[in-house]
Amino acid sequence: MSGAMAKKKDETPPTPKLEIVKPPPASASAGKAAPGSSRASADKRVTAEEMAKKQREISVSEFFAKNRHLLGFDNPRKALLTAVKEAVDNSLDACEEAKILPEVEVKIEVAKNGGPPPAPSQAERFVVTVTDNGPGIVPEQIAKIFAKLLYGSKFHRLRMSRGQQGIGISAAGLYGQLTTGKPVKVISRTSEKKPAWYVEIQIDTAKNEPRILSKKQLETWDRPHGTQVSIELEGRYQKGRTSVDEYLEQTSVANPHAGFVYVTPEGQRVEFKRTMHDLPHSPREIKPHPYGIELGVLLKMMQDTKSHWLSGFLCGDFSRVSPKVAAEICQAAGLDPRSKPRSIHGDEAEKLYKAIQATKIMNPPTDCLSPIGEKAILAGLYKQIKGDFYTAVTRSPAVYRGNPFVIEVGLAFGTGQAAMAESAVEQEQAVPVAEGEEDEKSETQLSRVMRFANRVPLLYQPGACAVTKAVVETSWRNYGLSQSRGALPQGPLVIFVHMASVWVPFTSESKEAIADYDEIRKEIRLALNEAGRRLSSFVRRRERAQNEYKRRNIFEAYIEEVADACKRLKKGKLDAEKLKKQLQAMAHRLTGGEKTDELVNGKKEEPAVESTIIVTPEGPQGAVPAAGPESPVASPKSEPPKPEPKAKAVKPTMKGKGK
Amino acid sequence: MSRTVEDRLVGLADVVTSAAAKKKDPEIQIPVRALSNVEFNPRKRIIEMKDATTARTFFNLGMAKKFMQTMLVADALAELQRADCTTSLREIYYRTKHTLKESSENTFDAQDESDPIIEDLEVTLAALREELNVAAEGRGSIVGNVVLVDDGDAIDCSKAGKSGHTVPSIVEEPGIRIKKVSADFVLLVEKATQFNRLSEDKFWKRHNCVLLTGNGQPPRGVRRLCRRIHDEWKKPVYVLVDNDPWGYYIYSVVKQGSINLAFESERMAMPDAKFLGLSSTDPEKHKLPRNVGIKLNDKDIARAKELLEYPWFQAKAWQKEIRHMLASGLKYELDALANKDFRYLTTTYLPRKLKDKDWLD
């Protein structure tokens, strides 16, 4: 920490020169070849030395300023979402690491640019403010965390977290700076006993270094500890798919231990309440698993190891390699367990690599992962989605390229009893349908897929994602749903898929879709199958009952018609009511009698399957989340937050600092 | 069944009440209207309906709606009887259409749901459509030496101008009487073009005949009027259609009756009707160039092959006729005769056909 302080001092010249290195004038570079005519320089050969003059390092910040789409800032609408997302991800990570139940407030306001602010749907500039109750950031680190790309604590460890590279929040700040010229404003406080700091920062894009515009202590701040970041940026606010609203809803589903308050640009306050009152168990860092290592990496590890013996190297530098397994590997590779790791090259190394792949090794430890858990998924879905049936499956950990991962699937099915009652009312008031008009039933609605990676919702590029592919290739017809070829299943179904891993393979830096590894897709499919089987028994049972019920309903409606027609045929000389009663009695008998009543009214649901909730008119049954204490919100008492939760930061090894 | 049509309709209500009293599923036996349930009677030379029936029951999810619809149509038809008025299929549809209580479901969604039910009731109650007071589409014209009496007014079809008199859709006694037929035969023409040509050329005057057309497949009124002239005045009937499978079938319906309305063959069919043309051999006889033919499409060929299988097309001459068409791969419209001369039909084709007795039976 003192080091960081010291560093800070070097870096705080109040006005760092924004040194824009101009390319040397063309005449200068062409001087040697054609002294007379600099105009013709384009035609002349350029020497390596001349070219060398132009070759210089590119700052990451500069690179991303020009390639902002790589980080999810391609258009104003997406930029607004990405900014919120990065800030919220950081808040949740920090709270969890500090063992605090997160309370996050997201506020989006239309920026006041002098004059009356435009309507949110028309506005082009917004201020995004995200406030958490996390551990806070020590004042010295604030600038780097928010205004230096590739700075963070998460890149160099094999442990599960939302953020991975330390790009996100500073990129959001950079985007705001590029589009509005306004600095990022941060307030942070690490404990009740200490003051809150207010810092305004910008990024020096050429150097990838923060530039502090203002830094002061605040008299008061309403939170005992936590961080607030405020970014003004160009954006567009729209509801619907891929909106901030949807992102927060899904985040709340996947993080039932977190509470969210969302203040919309219209000034509406939406609350997503906490339903789980235990923190997810905190993930542990792990060593790489032998299966995930490529030959080159293996060679490098053998050079770097501190072990003198091969067997020691295998046991010490990898996870899940016991002395016995190490011996097996060595034997299979035909190598002496006591050979020096540094002396293994070429063919031997290749043999070793093959031997590792061929040896049965236990899966990597999974305490580096923090799956949401079946109970919490159920709680999240049950809280946020109206349905009649909920189930959740957490697979046991699996491995792709040596990275352990866990797939979790949740299903919410049905329209909810309340919704059913509503639609019944609607039906009564239904307008008669004219010829050629369709009775618009949403029977063919496609199910909705919610994708998550390390508890972060993925909203873009569903088509490129392994999750979507796995959902589509699962045959939902086996589970009682209809599905067209190559499409999502139909029906009132929400499919929740979560991948927890120390390293989630995204298809791009903006983290929108999970790459399609066979192992991952297979795990998702297996989880979907398990959840699907549970769903199917529910669907089939209810369908059977509803069919009988529907039959009886149909008969009841038709009985009216038939009896009335008979009465008219008989010129009124017929007791239509008696006839109706007779026919109704038969209908009741023919459509399963009392048994249907029970099934339809849900009195006799079969005993609940594990990790499943079934909603009946009498209320939900099964693994219903307990109402729980109303607000065990992270009290200030809960252990003094450690300073520098994020500042553990090892400097990224990537070269990126401008000179 | 000698009971009145109304009594027969009311009988359906009794089916329901008595079944309900016995706690039985109400059931109406409806004769099957399909190829499987018709049979060619070689003695009478007409298509007759066999006695297969299907039970329409109420307490069956697949049939409940149809049963309900049947009762609604029966009710509307009874109402029609009591009011003594005649209406169309479409009006029956509107009369019986309403929305079911507490739902947005309609009793009928389109007319094609109510039409077959009326046909069902015709066969079930052995009541003719005319007796049910439901008129088919009025489509067809008549011109020639015939005097009809329609609702008391005498109509002389030889004084009906070029366009002729419209054939009513119900041509039964006592509404319509055939007062006098001085023509020698009836010529039933498929299409209006040829009817107009022959009417304009006063073909019927020169050859002393009655010209009838039904614009395509002749409706019941035209067939029934033709049959009555044929029966009551013993006049032979000749049919002039295009040379294609559909033309052959029109002829066969006129002659033996149709599959769908096989129960009406007895009073509609004219087993003595002759097929005057266009025959597949005519293009050669009349030297029609090949380029006025039309290539048979896949549907034509499939239909022609079906015709070859029908028992009423088994006569050698007919097998030869159809196979000849298939072999040539071409079909010809009557209109193609205009390629020779606008009046070729009137002045050459028909006179030669009639003189040579060049027809098929």
In contact, B158 and B180? CB cutoff 8 Å: no
Q: Is A421 on the interface with B (CB under 8 A)?
A: no
Instruction: Determine which of B7, B12, B16 to mutate to test the interface with A (most A C-beta atoms within 10 Å).
Output: B16
Share of chain B above pLDDT 90, in %: 66
Q: Which pLDDT belongs to residue A618?
A: 64
* A197 burial via Cβ count (<10 Å: 0-12, 13-18, 19+): buried
Q: Is omega for the bond preceding B278 within 30 degrees of 0, making it cis? A: yes
Q: Can you tell me the mean pLDDT for A407-418?
A: 82
In contact, B162 and B199? CB cutoff 8 Å: yes
* A2 burial via Cβ count (<10 Å: 0-12, 13-18, 19+): exposed
Q: Which pLDDT belongs to residue A14?
A: 44
Q: Is A569 on the interface with B (CB under 8 A)?
A: yes
In contact, B273 and B251? CB cutoff 8 Å: yes
Contact A565 B23 (CB under 8 A): no
Q: Is omega for the bond preceding B289 within 30 degrees of 0, making it cis? A: no
Nearest to A565 among B71, B100, B110 (CB): B71
Alpha helix locations (H) across chain B?
Answer: 5-21, 64-83, 89-96, 111-125, 192-200, 203-206, 220-232, 245-256, 265-268, 282-285, 298-309, 316-328, 344, 350-356
Domain B5-25+60-135: which CATH class?
mainly alpha
Query: Taking CB atoms and an 8 Å cutoff, what residues of chain B touch A574?
Result: 13, 17
The full set of domain ranges for chain A reads: 2-58, 63-272, 290-358
Q: What are the residues whose beta carbons fall under 8 Å from the beta carbon of A516, sequence distance 6 or more?
A: A465, A466, A469
Distance separating alpha carbons of residues A236 and A243, to the nearest angstrom: 10
Q: Is A70 on the interface with B (CB under 8 A)?
A: no
CA distances B174 to B78, B80, B130, Å, are: 21, 18, 12
Q: Which pLDDT belongs to residue A10?
A: 42
* ipTM reported for the complex surpasses 0.85: no
Does the pLDDT of residue A252 top 70, yes or no? yes
CA A17 to chain centre: 39
Q: Is A427 on the interface with B (CB under 8 A)?
A: yes
Confidence of residue A242 (pLDDT cuts 50, 70, 90): confident
Nearest to B101 among A431, A557, A590 (CB): A557
Nearest to A562 among B61, B68, B78 (CB): B68
Q: Which pLDDT belongs to residue B331?
A: 93
Q: Can you tell me the mean pLDDT for A198-223?
A: 87
Q: Which pLDDT belongs to residue A614?
A: 79
Q: Which pLDDT belongs to residue A13?
A: 42
Query: Taking CB atoms and an 8 Å cutoff, what residues of chain A touch B64?
Result: 554-555, 558
Distance separating alpha carbons of residues B157 and B147, to the nearest angstrom: 6
Size of interface A-B (CB pairs under 8 A): 94
Does the pLDDT of residue A596 top 50, yes or no? yes
Place of tokens 């307008």: A431
Tokens representing A306 are 């501190």
Confidence of residue B1 (pLDDT cuts 50, 70, 90): very low
In contact, A451 and A462? CB cutoff 8 Å: yes
Contact B78 A569 (CB under 8 A): yes
Q: Which pLDDT belongs to residue A200?
A: 93
Distance separating alpha carbons of residues A235 and B238, to the nearest angstrom: 83
Q: Which pLDDT belongs to residue A609?
A: 60
Nearest to B106 among A433, A567, A590 (CB): A433
Distance separating alpha carbons of residues A351 and A333, to the nearest angstrom: 5
Hey, which of A107-116, A204-213, A359-368, B189-198 has the most confident mean pLDDT? Answer: B189-198
SS3 (DSSP) at A613: strand
pLDDT digit string, tens, across residues B235-271: 999 999 999 999 999 999 999 998 888 888 888 999 9
To the nearest whole Å, the CA of B77 is away from the closest chain A CA by 9
Phi, psi angle pair for B41, to nearest 5°: -90, 105
Q: Which pLDDT belongs to residue B27?
A: 92
Query: Taking CB atoms and an 8 Å cutoff, what residues of chain A touch B78?
Result: 568-569
Q: Taking Cα atoms as reference points, which of A187, A170, A87, A223 lies closest to residue A641?
A: A223
Contact B79 A568 (CB under 8 A): yes
Mean pLDDT over all residues of chain A? Answer: 78
Confidence of residue A42 (pLDDT cuts 50, 70, 90): low
Beta strands in A235-306 (DSSP E): 259-263, 269-272
Q: How many residues are given for chain A?
A: 659
pLDDT digit string, tens, across residues A314-360: 888 888 888 998 998 998 888 888 888 888 888 888 889 889 888 88
pLDDT digit string, tens, across residues B23-41: 889 999 999 888 888 889 9
Give this prediction's pTM: 0.59
Confidence of residue A20 (pLDDT cuts 50, 70, 90): very low
Higher pLDDT, A576 or A294: A576
Q: Can you tell me the mean pLDDT for A194-217?
A: 88
Tokens representing B322 are 């159809």
To the nearest whole Å, the CA of A260 is away from the closest chain B CA by 42
In contact, A403 and A519? CB cutoff 8 Å: no
Distance separating alpha carbons of residues A649 and A10, to the nearest angstrom: 18
Contact B106 A427 (CB under 8 A): no
Distance separating alpha carbons of residues A143 and A215, to the nearest angstrom: 10
To the nearest whole Å, the CA of A615 is away from the closest chain B CA by 26
The full set of domain ranges for chain B reads: 5-25+60-135, 141-356
Tokens representing B184 are 């020698």
The A residues from 227 to 246 touching B (CB cutoff 8 Å) are none
Q: Which sign does the torsion angle of CA B206, B212, B215, B217 carry? A: negative
Q: Which pLDDT belongs to residue B127?
A: 87
Q: Is A555 on the interface with B (CB under 8 A)?
A: yes
Contact A562 B61 (CB under 8 A): no
Q: How many CB atoms lie within 10 A of CB B226?
A: 27
Q: Which pLDDT belongs to residue A417?
A: 58
Does the pLDDT of residue A278 top 70, yes or no? yes
> What is the architecture, at CATH level 2, of domain B141-356?
3-Layer(aba) Sandwich (3.40)
Active site amino acids of B: 94
Query: Taking CB atoms and an 8 Å cutoff, what residues of chain A touch B110?
Result: 435-436
Taking CA atoms, what residue in B is nearest to A585? B23
Taking CA atoms, what residue in B is nearest to A564? B72
pLDDT digit string, tens, across residues B339-360: 999 999 999 999 999 999 999 9
Q: Can you tell me the mean pLDDT for A77-84?
A: 90
Taking CA atoms, what residue in A is nearest to B93? A435
Phi, psi angle pair for A288, to nearest 5°: -65, 150
Domain A290-358: which CATH class?
mainly alpha
SS3 string, A551-572, reads HHHHHHHHHHHHHHHHHHHCCC
Higher pLDDT, A422 or A527: A527
In contact, A405 and A505? CB cutoff 8 Å: no
Share of chain A above pLDDT 70, in %: 77
Mean pLDDT over all residues of chain B? Answer: 91
Output the CATH code of domain A63-272. Answer: 3.30.565.10
Higher pLDDT, A611 or A449: A449
Distance separating alpha carbons of residues B296 and A491, to the nearest angstrom: 47
CA distances A414 to A97, A387, A625, B327, Å, are: 37, 4, 19, 62
Q: Is A577 on the interface with B (CB under 8 A)?
A: no
Q: How many CB atoms lie within 10 A of CB B96?
A: 23
Q: Which pLDDT belongs to residue B272?
A: 93
Distance separating alpha carbons of residues A364 and A372, to the nearest angstrom: 19
Does the pLDDT of residue A626 top 70, yes or no? no
